[in-house]
Amino acid sequence: DAKTTQPNSMESNEEEPVHLPCNHSTISGTDYIHWYRQLPSQGPEYVIHGLTSNVNNRMASLAIAEDRKSSTLILHRATLRDAAVYYCILRGGYNKLIFGAGTRLAVHP
C-alpha cells in the first residue's frame, strides 16, 4: 500500500483559510486520494476524495498536483468545529483504508 506523509500538527485562526498538505510520492495510477477527519473521541468522518482533478464539496476543496505526488486539503474558512485530526489516505484496491498519524489541526478564536 502506498504511504502518505503529513505534518504532525498545524494551527489556524478562525475564519482564515487552511491548507493541509499531503505527500504521496509512491501513488499509483489507480489510487484515489481520500481525506477523513476525526474529532476527539469520535469515529472518523469522510471529508473529500479525488483521483486527478481538483474537487470541491460543501466541506472542503481538494487540490491535486499535476503529477499526483502531492495534494492539499483546503478549508476555506476555518471554524472552531474544524479542529480535528485530518488523515490523507490512498485507496487503490476495494478494501482497506490505511491510516497514518494524520495532521492535528488547532483552530484559534
Partner 1 sequence: DGGITQSPKYLFRKEGQNVTLSCEQNLNHDAMYWYRQDPGQGLRLIYYSQIVNDFQKGDIAEGYSVSREKKESFPLTVTSAQKNPTAFYLCASRSTLFGPSGEQYFGPGTRLTVT
Query: Contact positions toward partner 1, by CB under 8 A?
Result: 30-32, 36, 41-46, 49, 51, 87, 91-102
| CB distance 85 to 38 below 8 Å | yes
CA 70/CA 21 separation, integer angstroms: 7
Q: How far is the CB of 99 from partner 1 (least distance, A)?
A: 4
C-beta closer to partner 1: residue 38 or 72: 38
Report the 10 Å Cβ neighbour count for 77. 11
C-beta closer to partner 1: residue 49 or 72: 49
Q: How far is the CB of 33 from partner 1 (least distance, A)?
A: 10
Q: How far is the CB of 31 from partner 1 (least distance, A)?
A: 8
First to last CA, the chain: 38
CA 13/CA 29 separation, integer angstroms: 36
